[in-house]
Amino acid sequence: MGMGGGSKAADEANRAEQERQAAIKRTQGAVNAVFDGPGREGDIQDFIAATRDFYTGDLNRQKADTDRQLRFALARGGLTGGSTQIDQQRRFADDYARGLLTVEQKAQGAGAGIRAADQDARARLISLATSGLDATTGAAQAAAAMRNSIDAGKAEQYAGGLSNAFSGLQGFIDKSREAAERRRANSDSGLSWYGRPAGSSGGDW
């Protein structure tokens, strides 16, 4: 009798464990099905494209502003049409090309960040399945985690714009502006470019 009771208890324990394992498997399957859904990669690609557009717009605004400043700087120094203009415009084009590469790196990095967040959330929910998380709740939490990772990615990427892609040209532009200001100050005080009174030969000054 005692042995029969023990066998029954063991059978019940075994059945309960099998049910528990089946429930874990169902929850893990539901979680994986959400993360592996065919639309997820499309969501990520849309996010990458939006990030690319955002930073490209920022880069193009910088380009327009720097182009205007560079043209003014060359004109102020009487350098339009010379070798200096050719050199600075070549540098300008190189900076823009590097800026486009940076934009693409940021866009792809943003997509990689979403994928990493998805995998972290998946692993967390898979682990929770062993603690009793049911399939319905697991699937709902997986969907919520996917939405949250996109929202967090947007907040992170759009918090700040692209760093100055044309900072290398800023020195030339600043020096041109400073030189123009010195010329203007000297002119206002009656001095020549070299700091002598305008019209003076400099011999006795």
Task: Flag whether 197 is in a domain.
Answer: no
Q: Dump pLDDT digits (tens) for 55-75.
A: 999 999 999 999 999 999 998
Binned at pLDDT 50, 70 and 90, residue 204 comes out as very low
Q: What angle do CA 14, 18, 23 make, to 5 degrees?
A: 145
Give residue 156's pLDDT. Answer: 85
Task: Flag whether 10 is in a domain.
Answer: no
Instruction: Choose between 194 and 103: higher pLDDT.
Output: 103
Q: How far is CA 152 from CA 51, 155, 164, in A?
A: 13, 5, 24
List the one residue out of 180, 160, 162, 149 whose CA is nearest residue 104: 162
Question: What count of other Cβ atoms lies within 10 Å of the Cβ of residue 93?
Answer: 11
Task: Flag whether 182 is in a domain.
Answer: no
Binned at pLDDT 50, 70 and 90, residue 1 comes out as very low
Q: Dump pLDDT digits (tens) for 90-105.
A: 999 999 999 999 999 9
Q: What is the domain extent for residue 103? A: 20-162
**Rounded CA separation 192/176 (Å):** 17
Give residue 193's pLDDT. Answer: 47
Give residue 159's pLDDT. Answer: 77
Task: Flag whether 199 is in a domain.
Answer: no
Q: Is the dihedral of CA 87, 93, 97, 102 positive or negative?
A: positive
Give residue 191's pLDDT. Answer: 53
Task: Flag whether 9 is in a domain.
Answer: no
Give residue 116's pLDDT. Answer: 96
Mean pLDDT of 107-122: 96
Question: What count of other Cβ atoms lies within 10 Å of the Cβ of residue 114?
Answer: 21
Mean pLDDT of 148-158: 89
Q: What does the DSSP 8-state code read for residue 159?
A: S
Number of structural domains the chain divides into = 1
Task: Flag whether 100 is in a domain.
Answer: yes
Task: Flag whether 8 is in a domain.
Answer: no
Q: What is the pTM of this model?
A: 0.77
Task: Flag whether 63 is in a domain.
Answer: yes
Q: What is the dihedral of CA 108, 113, 115, 119, to 10 degrees?
A: 160
Evaluate if residue 46 carries a pLDDT over 80.
yes
**Rounded CA separation 98/162 (Å):** 12
Q: Are 187 and 83 in contact, with CB atoms under 8 Å apart?
A: no
Mean pLDDT of 186-200: 58
